[in-house]
Amino acid sequence: MSVKISIITPVLNGADYINFCLRNVATQGYPDIEHIVVDGGSTDGTLEYIQRFAERHSHVRLLSRPGLGQSAAMNLGISMATGDVLGILNDDDYYGLGVLKRVSELFKHLPNPSFVAADCNIWLKGGVLLRVDRPTRLGITDLLQGPQVYPFPCNPSSYFYHRSLHEFIGLYDETDDYTMDVEFIFRAARAAHCVYVEETWGNFRFFPGTKTYEDIQQHRCGIRVAEKIHKHERILPWHLRTVTVIKRFMLRVQRIARRFMHHYLGVAWLPPFVKGVQLPRCVRRRVRQFSIARGLVVPSSPMQIQTNPSMQRWHESRMSVQGVREAAEIPEHVLSASMPGKPSICLIALYIGQWPQWMSFFYETCRYNPTIHWLLVGSEPLPSGAPWNIQYLSLDLPAFNRLASERLGLQVEVHPQFLRKFCDFKCTYGRLFEECLSPYTFWGHCDLDVVFGDIRYFLTREILDKYDVISSYGLRLNGPFTIYRKTPELLRFYEKNDMHAVVFSDTWKPYSFDEYYLTQTVQELAARGELRLRLDDTFQRHDRHGGLHYWYEGNLLDACSRKPALLFHFAQWKKQWTNQAFSFDALGPKAFVILREGLFQFQRDWSDSLKDDYNKALINMRLGYMPH
């Protein structure tokens, strides 16, 4: 006996995708289905097309309800459904081949009610696969750990469930048209028999203009999900709430164990973030000396260097390197002559005018990334205190215009009153400063209004070998941090965009060419197999996200989630800091907090509390205590 499956599709002005959606269901090859399409008042021809399609396909039922929201439309379709199993398919999503037949086979042997989820492909424009969502843990205590720990089904095209499940948990929340599926999944996890199938069922188009895309762009999606998690955690029975807390505690214990193994024993494959686990001082000293003597840990003080003469010579050779090198023009192999060895990555930042007042903090975050090198290009002398892995190149605005005109083959005249125009030229840094990049495998651009965490924790050797372009933003190339493999093609890849001549010749208008225009270009190149692209939104935190963030001995983390980050971008907060001066005391604790009011280094008596108890520091901050 076959299982009847009902597919519900809410749609509003979906003329671009509704044709593909209807044909995708019709060509599944499974006979016992009904496809209920609920139109909310489309005005772009969607309704007429569905009517014509329904006349030729008896399994399609059209319900037209102008003004109906998405959640209400889904509930209307569910109330009209006659199938034993339900699936929700948005008009811009689609199933893989043979999915409905596979679903029918599974539900024949499952208890009622059951909820079955599988993998989902997330696609960008140009046929670029962003990632595969794998919701392997569907228990309520696992889901409440958050999607960063245990991902839950990100799109309804990847899960199906018994229609009777709604009799136990109710319908979708009609007051919420954004995270109603998250709410439903949390309720289903408590009431249904949940099963994960290691197969790919759904396909989710994550395109500009779609509701989910715009919600994430405006940084609202994460807030809504966090509110749902907090709501359901509060209403859990005491025993499930206890299990949730215990699991969260055990995850933190595992993270602390990994920190200890990496920091004190030098095991390179473990995550190297937050090196603040406190053991007795005598034990810490012995473990540290053992690691240095075997070359497992880079020494950071003369006392530790004395245990190993070879490591002492290594340290002295690097400390003798001149940290700042001024030049009137680009010298040949400037970096290879001043930086021993052959590092992998060089980040370039260009700044015309007085350097920002937080440069001492920027220096400190660079100092704790010794295998990453920076080339700072500016018109003013670099402030003192730069670490050895920062090089300086003197270049004023007229010199830049001459250099860019010569290298790009265009007439470049950036106006001095429109210096934001320099952002359009970030993608050309590899070409403009090519002589400086000879020792490197990757080059990239970054901003100065950032705090860097442990870059090598995120950019592992495996990732660098696998990808040619890596951005710290999940939707596009990112001005604050994007790196490119140093190949002749990627040094001039901007030429593949037809707008480059118009953008570079304009004297004042910023086009955001390095982000929006070139994203489409690299996605097209990736779709053709000409490069390997990674857009990763787990790398970066932004001041629009809010919250408290700490930097401690090279590690950047969110004070609430304890998650590490590659960088924090304070693009908006810095506008309030115009009349403030920030200074990082080199003799003080290697720790500071990032607030809306500025960057504040902790006092000496705060270092232990920061390392031992983040919550104590957080509570004091909210009570009004301002660090040093």
Q: For residue range 141-163, what is the model confidence (pLDDT) as tens digits?
A: 888 888 878 888 889 999 999 99
Do 433 and 472 form a contact (C-beta atoms < 8 A)?
no
For residues 571 and 583, membership in a common domain is answered with yes
Q: What CA–CA distance (Å, rounded) separates 263 from 268? A: 9
Do 393 and 387 form a contact (C-beta atoms < 8 A)?
no
For residue 627, tell me if it sits in a domain: no
Q: Return all residues near 99 (Cβ < 8 A) that are at least 6 apart.
A: 28, 201
Which CATH number fits the domain that encloses residue 380?
3.90.550
Contacts 24+ apart (CB under 8 A), 133-137: 133/158, 133/204, 134/198, 135/196, 136/196, 136/198, 137/196
User: For position 247, what pLDDT does the model report?
Assistant: 82
> Rounded mean pLDDT of 585-602?
81
For residues 365 and 418, membership in a common domain is answered with yes
Domain end point (choices 232, 264, 288):
232
Terminal Cα-to-Cα distance of the chain (whole angstroms): 73
Higher pLDDT, 289 or 510: 510
Domain end point (choices 515, 540, 565):
540
Residue 330 has pLDDT above 50, yes or no: no
User: For position 539, what pLDDT does the model report?
Assistant: 83
Helix (H), strand (E) at residue 328: none
In tens, the pLDDT along 442-488 reads 999 999 999 999 998 889 888 999 999 999 888 889 999 999 999 99
For residues 222 and 257, membership in a common domain is answered with no
User: For position 5, what pLDDT does the model report?
Assistant: 94
Residue 623 has pLDDT above 80, yes or no: no
Quote the mean pLDDT of the chain: 80
Q: Which of 155-164, 427-436, 524-533, 607-616 has the lowest mean pLDDT?
A: 607-616
Highest-pLDDT range among 50-54, 127-131, 580-584: 50-54
For residues 514 and 556, membership in a common domain is answered with no
For residue 628, tell me if it sits in a domain: no
Q: What 3 state SS string does 307-322 have?
A: CCHHHHHHHHHHHCCC
User: For position 259, what pLDDT does the model report?
Assistant: 63
For residue 179, tell me if it sits in a domain: yes
Q: Which of 54-58, 379-383, 591-595 has the lowest mean pLDDT?
A: 591-595
For residues 152 and 301, membership in a common domain is answered with no
Which CATH number fits the domain that encloses residue 137?
3.90.550.10
User: For position 580, what pLDDT does the model report?
Assistant: 75
Give the structural domain span for 584.
543-622
User: For position 590, what pLDDT does the model report?
Assistant: 82
Which of 617, 623, 572, 618 has its CA nearest to residue 596? 572
- Half-sphere exposure of residue 242, counting CA atoms within 13 Å on the CB side? 3
Tokens 């002492």 sit at which residue? 312
For residue 441, tell me if it sits in a domain: yes
For residues 211 and 151, membership in a common domain is answered with yes
For residue 473, tell me if it sits in a domain: yes
Residue 9 has pLDDT above 70, yes or no: yes
For residues 385 and 518, membership in a common domain is answered with yes
Which of 532, 372, 536 has its CA nearest to residue 466? 532
pLDDT bucket at 203, cuts 50 / 70 / 90: very high
Strand order in 450-452's β-sheet? 450-452, 567-569, 540-542
Q: Which of 247-251, 407-411, 421-425, 543-547 has the lowest mean pLDDT?
A: 543-547
Residue 591 phi/psi, 5° resolution? -155, 140
Q: What CA–CA distance (Å, rounded) separates 6 from 35? A: 6
For residues 260 and 292, membership in a common domain is answered with yes
For residues 173 and 63, membership in a common domain is answered with yes
User: Length of the chain in residues, anyone?
Assistant: 628
For residue 368, tell me if it sits in a domain: yes
Residue 211 phi/psi, 5° resolution? -65, -45
Residue 339 has pLDDT above 60, yes or no: no
Domain end point (choices 287, 311, 335):
311
Q: How many domains does the chain have?
A: 4
Highest-pLDDT range among 143-157, 192-206, 244-258: 192-206
User: For position 412, what pLDDT does the model report?
Assistant: 92
For residue 77, tell me if it sits in a domain: yes
Q: Which of 187-196, 225-234, 256-265, 433-442 has the lowest mean pLDDT?
A: 256-265
Higher pLDDT, 398 or 608: 398
Residue 321 has pLDDT above 60, yes or no: no
CA 312 from chain centre, in angstroms, equals 38
Q: Which of 106-115, 123-132, 214-223 has the lowest mean pLDDT?
A: 214-223
For residue 316, tell me if it sits in a domain: no
Q: Which of 13-22, 182-191, 263-272, 492-501 has the lowest mean pLDDT?
A: 263-272
Helix (H, G, I), strand (E, B) or coil at 215: helix
User: For position 360, what pLDDT does the model report?
Assistant: 92
Share of the chain above pLDDT 70, in %: 81
Residue 531 phi/psi, 5° resolution? -155, 165
In tens, the pLDDT along 554-579 reads 888 877 666 788 999 998 888 888 77
The b-or-e profile of 192-222 (16+ CB within 10 A means b, else e) is bbbebeeebbbbbbbeeebebbebbeeeebe
Helix (H), strand (E) at residue 563: none
Q: Which of 4-8, 242-246, 388-392, 397-401 has the lowest mean pLDDT?
A: 242-246
For residues 536 and 552, membership in a common domain is answered with no
Residue 253 has pLDDT above 60, yes or no: yes
> Rounded mean pLDDT of 605-619?
44
Helix (H, G, I), strand (E, B) or coil at 222: helix
For residues 88 and 191, membership in a common domain is answered with yes
For residues 221 and 263, membership in a common domain is answered with no
